[in-house]
């Protein structure tokens, strides 16, 4: 098993990650294997990863390398053929004992590339939906919806029908809906890839601030190397169903370049110190000072208006 990231952090990166010193394991994936029916090769091969409370761990790798499959196994939407999954101390999957907790018992939040908000519902109805499905009392549903919409900067949008929102606003509804159950872990599968460049950057800042504020574990999937460098506390480089390397974002491209195409490509893009500094500049990585970042972002909204 991997230890928390302390050993290999450079002073600069440690400063950038400041108080993020995740100690408690939120999710542990242990020796997962998955072959889809009819598939000749396993989509996932002996994958082990720990995600710590309060960190963003990014799965970065080329199309088809198994990122979404990994997320779906954590959410319970796919069952591994072998291996175990733990949420903290709780066993969620123990393949050898055929133990598999169903998705609705895992309390996982998911945000996808497609906003997947229901067009026939208002913003408040969309966000309340997971609570209604779990039969929360009405007053608690009301309170939580108000709280989480405030968190994502959508107070006042409660009665707006889903289709009458911008893309960024719809994505924030998706975030609110994923967070309203106060999940153990938030799974993000390329959540910004339908947004334009400026909005992506704003959403990255918003997510980083959310992470700071909620101290929640996030497992984030992206193709986008800049996004990964900007947002992650750690990166796991995947290729052909295998985690080839994981750790500090900087280490991911300074080490093992020869064995991983992502690492090589990252190294190419950030070969100079200057370029690297730009990638972790506070404007892109506001967690250096949450208070300052919040002020510069928006006083009222965690995620700036689209
Ligand atoms: N439902 C399925 N049935 C059969 N094979 C599948 C299924 N879903 C995924 N696969 C295969 O499993 C492998 C991993 O797919 P996965 O969707 O996890 O990749 P990914 O890294 O998320 O790719 P992308 O970046 O394109 O979203 C691929 O080879 C894919 O073709
Ligand atoms: Mg995918």
Residues 6+ apart with CB under 8 A from 234: 5, 55, 56, 57, 58, 246, 247, 248, 249
Give the Cα separation of 276 and 268 in Å (integer).
11
Ligand 1 atom with minimal separation from the 221 CA? 22
**Model pLDDT for residues 227-238, shown as the tens digit of each residue:** 888 899 999 999
- Judge whether 192 and 171 are in contact, CB under 8 Å: yes
Max Cα separation, the chain?
57
Structure letter (DSSP) for residue 293: H
Q: How far is the CA of 222 from the centre of ligand 2 (A)?
A: 8
Query: Which domains are present in the chain?
Result: 11-107+182-302 (3.40.50.300)
Q: Using CA positions, which residue lies closest to atom 11 of ligand 1? A: 43
In this prediction, residue 56 has a pLDDT band, given cuts at 50, 70 and 90, of: very high
- Predicted local confidence at residue 52, as pLDDT: 94
Q: How far is the CA of 68 from the centre of ligand 1 (A)?
A: 7
Q: Hey, how many other C-beta atoms are within 10 angstroms of the C-beta on 98?
A: 8
Q: How far is the CA of 294 from the centre of ligand 2 (A)?
A: 31
Give the residue, out of 59, 60, 67, 191, with the most ligand 1 atoms within 8 A of its beta carbon, to mutate for a pocket test. Answer: 67
Q: Hey, how many other C-beta atoms are within 10 angstroms of the C-beta on 20?
A: 19
Q: Using CA positions, which residue lies closest to atom 18 of ligand 1? A: 66
Ligand 1 atom with minimal separation from the 65 CA? 21
Judged by its nearest atom, the ligand closest to the C-alpha of residue 65 is: 1
Give the Cα separation of 87 and 60 in Å (integer).
22
pTM for the model stands at 0.80
Lowest mean pLDDT among 22-36, 258-272, 279-293: 279-293
**Per-residue burial over 257-280, b = 16 or more CB atoms within 10 Å of its CB, e = otherwise:** beebebbeebbeebeeeeebeebb
Give the Cα separation of 221 and 230 in Å (integer).
13
Q: Using CA positions, which residue lies closest to atom 19 of ligand 1? A: 64
Give the Cα separation of 52 and 27 in Å (integer).
7
Q: How far is the CA of 12 from the centre of ligand 1 (A)?
A: 36
Q: Give start and end residues of each alpha helix (H) in the chain.
A: 11-17, 67-75, 123-133, 138-151, 167-179, 197-214, 225-231, 249-254, 261-269, 273-279, 290-297
Q: Using CA positions, which residue lies closest to atom 5 of ligand 1? A: 36
In this prediction, residue 155 has a pLDDT band, given cuts at 50, 70 and 90, of: very high
Q: What is the secondary structure of 137-154 as a DSSP string?
A: -HHHHHHHHHHHHHHTT-
pLDDT at 301 over 70: no
**Model pLDDT for residues 63-89, shown as the tens digit of each residue:** 999 999 999 999 999 999 999 999 999
Q: Using CA positions, which residue lies closest to atom 24 of ligand 1? A: 63
**Model pLDDT for residues 10-42, shown as the tens digit of each residue:** 454 445 445 445 469 999 999 999 999 998 899
Lowest mean pLDDT among 20-29, 73-82, 167-176, 248-257: 248-257
Q: Using CA positions, which residue lies closest to atom 9 of ligand 1? A: 69
Q: Are strands 56-60 and 44-52 parallel, antiparallel or unpaired?
A: unpaired
Lowest mean pLDDT among 8-12, 178-182, 220-224, 284-288: 284-288
Q: How far is the CA of 64 from the centre of ligand 2 (A)?
A: 7
Tokens standing for 62?
């080329």
- Judge whether 56 and 7 are in contact, CB under 8 Å: no
- Ligand 1 surroundings by CB, under 6 angstroms: 36, 39, 43, 63-69, 223
């Amino acid at each position: 098993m991997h230890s928390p990231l302390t050993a290999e952090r450079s002073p600069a990166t440690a400063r950038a990650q400041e108080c993020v010193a995740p100690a408690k394991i939120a999710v542990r994936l242990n020796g997962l294997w998955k072959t889809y029916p009819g598939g000749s090769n396993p989509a996932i091969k002996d994958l082990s990863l720990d995600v710590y409370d309060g960190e963003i761990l990014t799965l970065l790798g080329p199309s088809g390398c198994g990122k979404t499959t990994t997320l779906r196994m954590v959410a319970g939407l796919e069952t591994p053929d072998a291996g175990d999954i733990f949420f903290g101390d709780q066993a969620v999957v123990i393949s050898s004992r055929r133990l598999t907790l169903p998705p609705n018992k895992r309390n996982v939040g998911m945000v996808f590339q497609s906003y997947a908000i229901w067009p026939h519902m208002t913003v408040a109805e969309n966000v309340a939906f997971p609570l209604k499905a779990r039969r929360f009392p009405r007053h608690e549903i009301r309170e939580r919806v108000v709280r989480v919409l405030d968190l994502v900067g959508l107070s006042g949008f409660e009665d707006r029908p889903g289709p009458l929102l911008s893309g960024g606003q719809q994505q924030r509804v998706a975030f609110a809906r994923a967070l309203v159950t106060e999940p153990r872990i938030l799974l993000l599968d390329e959540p910004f890839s339908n947004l334009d460049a400026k909005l992506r950057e704003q959403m990255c800042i918003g997510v980083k601030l959310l992470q700071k504020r909620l101290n929640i574990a996030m497992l984030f999937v992206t193709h986008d190397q800049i996004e990964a460098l900007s947002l992650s506390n750690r990166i796991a480089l995947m290729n052909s169903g295998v985690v080839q390397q994981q750790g500090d974002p900087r280490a991911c491209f300074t080490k093992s370049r020869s064995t991983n195409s992502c690492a090589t490509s990252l190294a190419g893009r950030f070969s100079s110190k200057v370029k690297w500094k730009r990638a972790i500049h506070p404007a892109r990585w506001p967690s250096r000072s949450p208070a300052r970042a919040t002020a510069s972002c928006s006083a009222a909204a965690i995620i700036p208006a689209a």
